[in-house]
Amino acid sequence: MNEKTNKLYFLKMKIENHPLFSDELEFSLMSDARVLESTKSQLTHLAGNLWINNIITIVGKNATGKTTIMSTIIGMLKLLLYRMSIDQTSLQDIFIGTEPIKVTTYFYGEDEILYKDVTTFNLDKASPNKKWIIGNEVIYEKKFNKRSTKKNILNFKNIDPLFDRNKLSEEATSLLSPDDSIFRLVQAKKKYAVQSISGNLMLANVNALLYGDKDVPTEILNYLDPTIEYLKIEQDRDESGQLKILYRLKFKNREEEINATAFDVIEHYLSSGTAKGITLYGSVIAALQTGGIIFVDELENHFNHAIVRSFIEDFSDPKVNVNRAILIFSTHYSELLDDLERGDEVYIAKRDNQIQLQRYSSSNVRSDLNKSEVFESDYLGGTAPEYSAYMQLKKATKKAVDNTRE
């Protein structure tokens, strides 16, 4: 009989002393609002007062750091959970400056154990390519107390470290690279199953067509483009190990099948929205099947609003999201906020010299106000384009048009 494998859940992350971020920028999946019967389906209950949201959005105007925030979270999770080195993640490109950067990450294990990982990153000034390395990493562990209030769940005061990188034996440190996390010691000790981490951040503004299975489901094709009869994406490797892809596309009421080995050929027949929709749908299916976390940058990019809402609904419908997968997405489309019933599902990204992240549920906004109206009205500050910038743009546009008439 196989022993049950406990799952490890990401809870929260705090980033300190990063030059781009306001000090102690925090991102949390943990519910900080009341859990009502009407919204229970949108959350996952872990234990006691510990609930996490299945949907989180980061909304903000252009250049407020939404992509940078998500890239940092993804990079840190892959460093800790997937035994990747810093330069194998997005962290190497996101970390800037010369001062140490500290990231604190919290997890919950299904064996009712909480973890706090505090990693300090240093710039290795002696390296020719200015690599970032781990200066120190300390991991704390404590038993979850079901009577803890939400405020005290992550209180690790008076808890001694489980592992301290700088206090490991010489034998242990000799096996570690300076840009490897020691969180692998926790995984080796407990054999946790970790959440899959996926995202489209590299593809947000690039057209591509990827899918996990050979046959793209007819249902998603009909939904995105009802003129398509079938689309098959066959993958193989040649003798040298190079990946070879063959796209086979057929439209209804046409006899010929279109074959292509490169996407730049197929994209002449498919809209960018259809290609991105198929790619995103494959990632969504994978996350729903495994109970993983999927990060989607600019969810509304090239999609109509009905399709955007359908992707969100997959994660809020308990009949679909049976494995309690999590969707974290960024958007410029503030009207989507009104589809999210809970204030703790929404983060507002703002930028005034540094990137700030404010949780809507902590903003003391009246519950009867539409979230989209609050965002568009600039009630919270930094969410709507400045009027002076708008007027300058209008004058510049008028001047450009007038010049063409002269």
Look at residue 213 and tell me if it is in a domain: no
Does position 1 have pLDDT exceeding 60, yes or no? no
Residue 298, domain member (yes or no): yes
Q: What is the mean pLDDT of residues 141-159?
A: 93
Structure confidence by residue, pLDDT tens digits, 201-251: 654 444 557 666 678 888 888 888 999 999 998 888 777 778 788 899 999
Could you read off the pLDDT of 301-348 as tens digits, one per residue? 756 777 788 888 889 888 999 999 999 999 877 777 777 878 899 898
Rg of the chain on CA atoms, in Å: 23
Domain that holds residue 275: 218-281
How confident is residue 145, by pLDDT bands cut at 50, 70 and 90? very high
CA distance 246 to 232: 8
Question: What number of other Cβ atoms are within 10 A of residue 19's Cβ?
Answer: 12
Our count of domains for the chain comes to 2
For residues 324 and 359, membership in a common domain is answered with yes
Cross-strand bridge partners of residue 27: 13
Lowest mean pLDDT among 18-27, 61-70, 122-131, 202-211: 202-211
Give the pLDDT mean for 127-144.
Answer: 93
Domain endpoint, select from 232, 254, 281: 281
Q: What percent of the chain has pLDDT over 70?
A: 85
Residues 40, 124, single domain; the answer is: yes
1 inside domain: no
Q: Is residue 2 part of a domain?
A: no
Instruction: Please identify, among 249, 281, 313, the residue that sits at the C-terminal boundary of a domain.
Output: 281
Give the model's confidence band at 371: pLDDT under 50 very low, under 70 low, under 90 confident, else very high.
low
Contact between 276 and 220 under an 8 Å Cβ cutoff? The reply is no
Q: Are residues 47 and 159 in the same domain?
A: yes
Q: Is 160 a member of any domain?
A: yes
SS (H, E, C) 342-404: CHHHEEEEEEECEEEEEEHHHCCCCCCCCHHHHHHCCCCCCCCCCHHHHHHHHHHHHHHHHHH
The domain spanning residue 143 has which CATH number? Answer: 3.40.50
Whether 107 and 143 share a structural domain: yes
**Is residue 208 in a domain?**
no
Given 228, 248, 281, the domain boundary residue is 281
| Amino acid 199: pLDDT | 80
Q: Over the chain, what is the mean pLDDT? A: 84
Q: Are residues 71 and 183 in the same domain?
A: yes
Q: CA 393 from chain center: how many Å?
A: 33
Whether 307 and 239 map to the same domain: the answer is no
Residue 45 and residue 187 in one domain: yes
Taking alpha carbons only, the member of 54, 55, 51, 12 closest to residue 34 is 51
Residues 67 and 164 in one domain: yes
User: pLDDT tens digit string along 36-72?
Assistant: 888 888 899 999 999 999 999 998 888 889 999 999 9
Q: In the beta sheet, which residues pair with residue 346? A: 57
115 and 34 in one domain? Answer: yes
Residue of 12, 363, 324 whose CA lies nearest to 153: 12
Of 71, 86, 63, residue with least CA distance to 27: 71
Cα–Cα distance for residue pair 277/288, rounded to 1 Å:
16
Q: Please name the residues in contact with 361: beta carbons below 8 A apart, sequence gap of 6 or more.
A: 32, 33, 342, 343, 344, 346
What percentage of the chain exceeds 90 in pLDDT? 46
pLDDT at 113 over 80: yes
Sign of CA dihedral 84, 90, 95, 96: positive
**142 pLDDT above the threshold of 60:** yes
Residue 404 lies in a domain: no
Gap between the Cα atoms of 228 and 217, Å rounded: 11
Q: Do 308 and 257 belong together in one domain? A: no
Distance separating alpha carbons of residues 291 and 285, to the nearest angstrom = 10
Q: What kind and span of H or E run contains 272? A: helix 272-290
Per-residue pLDDT, averaged over 374-390, amounts to 49
User: Which pLDDT score, from 0 to 100, does residue 28 have?
Assistant: 97
How would residue 355 be classed by pLDDT, with cut points 50, 70 and 90? very high
191 in any annotated domain: yes
Whole-prediction pTM: 0.85
With beta carbons less than 8 A apart as the criterion, state whether 54 and 327 touch: yes
How distant is the alpha carbon of residue 112 from its chain centre? 25
226 and 366 in one domain?
no
**Do residues 238 and 317 share a domain?**
no
N- to C-terminal Cα distance for the chain? 84
Residue among 325, 402, 338 nearest 55 (CA): 325
In what side-by-side order are the strands of the sheet with 55-59?
A: 197-199, 293-296, 326-331, 55-59, 346-352, 354-359
Cα separation, 199 vs 321, in Å, equals 18
